[in-house]
Amino acid sequence: MRVVVIGGSGHVGTFLVPRLVEAGYEVVSVSRGRREPYRADPAWRSVEQVTLDREAEEAGGTFGERVAKLEPDAVIDMICFTPESASQMVESLRGKLRHFLHCGTIWVHGHSTLVPATEDLPRHPFGEYGIQKARIEAYLLDEARRGGFPATLLHPGHIVGPGWAPVNPAGNFDPRVFERLARGEQLSLPNLGMETVHHVHADDVAQAFVRALDNWGAAVGESFHVVSPAALTLRGYAEAVAGWFGKTASLRFTSWEEWREGVSEEEARGTWDHIAHSPNCSIAKARRLLDYQPRYSSLEAVRESLGWLIEHGEVEAEWKTGISS
């Protein structure tokens, strides 16, 4: 079976493409050829690499046709952000494909209501990214359920892996937050630190895509959360990270207004986006229908990523003896 991965060399593709090759799929990876996967893997030698710029091709209305010409049995679309983009794929691939898998996001939910959130809850997306992804989800599910287009949506949480910075215990990407906790210095958190983040290791996202391909009958016409088994509160996350360095977290809690004054605009925006969503998603459906079995808890995924950042000098900290990535 020939699988075309659109955006195959990124966070998820780094793990997904080798997994597909190992599972016996013939793999084509589409990208602009500007970046390498985060991790070298001999599996890439048997991957056909196709250089295409989606934005440029879409502007000319040719992207869908270019993908169709690759003659895929399945397409995994990692980089679709508008319903118009999704519709170009559907119109070009309708009737020609066994399976179409779209990478969504748990941001389709907007703010949490019942937690852990299940896939069937009404959507309350906010922010351009989440709104567009929720519109794509509604469109693809309708095409699948009414029009017979074989679409599946997988919604990852905050993707973590060695090579890039994870969402930190303050809900943004500032690596100094890890350094403060490692040194036992005081860290301010907004509100009571009880808002949540929900990570997932990139390899677990990759696993879910392969399991969805392998479970066509259960996957088509459905969306699935792809996250770790449990979300973290910011407070619990900070306490765990400090513990990895033999420290007790020294936490100070302030109102949002006071907290945002102490950080940059970018960090405040990142934290607000995460705590306003406060994701906490159930993986029961993916476990039941796809046999999704995440290998990493949120903390295990973050610890591996933090280990990489420390080894590469991007975070200055020393593990407590006996604990390492």
Segment near ligand NAP (CB under 6 A); pick from 9-17, 109-117, 189-197, 252-260:
9-17
Could you tell me the two tokens for 323? 């604990």
Considering the rule CB under 6 A, would residue 28 count as an interface residue with ligand NAP?
Answer: no
Compute the distance between CA of residue 217 and CA of residue 150 in angstroms, rounded to an integer. Answer: 10
Q: Which one, of 319, 302, 49, 21, lies nearest residue 166 by Cα?
A: 302
CB of 258 vs ligand NAP, minimal distance in Å: 28
CB of 57 vs ligand NAP, minimal distance in Å: 8
Exactly one of 10, 64, 72, 279 binds ligand NAP (CB under 6 A); which one? 10
Contacts of 130 (CB under 8 A, 6+ apart): 105, 107, 108, 109, 110, 277
Site for ligand NAP in 118-177 (CB under 6 A): 156, 158-159
Q: How far apart are the first and last CA of the chain?
A: 36
Considering the rule CB under 6 A, would residue 235 count as an interface residue with ligand NAP?
Answer: no
Considering the rule CB under 6 A, would residue 53 count as an interface residue with ligand NAP?
Answer: yes
Considering the rule CB under 6 A, would residue 52 count as an interface residue with ligand NAP?
Answer: yes
Exactly one of 3, 4, 8, 245 binds ligand NAP (CB under 6 A); which one? 8
- The answer to whether residues 301 and 228 touch, using CB atoms and an 8 Å cutoff, is yes
Considering the rule CB under 6 A, would residue 212 count as an interface residue with ligand NAP?
Answer: no
CA-CA-CA-CA torsion sign (163, 207, 229, 216): positive
Compute the distance between CA of residue 233 and CA of residue 230 in angstroms, rounded to an integer. Answer: 10
Exactly one of 23, 79, 115, 289 binds ligand NAP (CB under 6 A); which one? 79
Segment near ligand NAP (CB under 6 A); pick from 10-18, 217-225, 273-281, 311-319:
10-18
CB of 34 vs ligand NAP, minimal distance in Å: 4
Compute the distance between CA of residue 243 and CA of residue 249 in angstroms, rounded to an integer. Answer: 7
Considering the rule CB under 6 A, would residue 54 count as an interface residue with ligand NAP?
Answer: yes
- The answer to whether residues 168 and 174 touch, using CB atoms and an 8 Å cutoff, is yes
**How many residues make up the chain in this entry?**
325
**Interacting residue ranges for ligand NAP, rule: CB under 6 A:** 7-13, 31-35, 52-55, 78-79, 103, 105, 156, 158-159
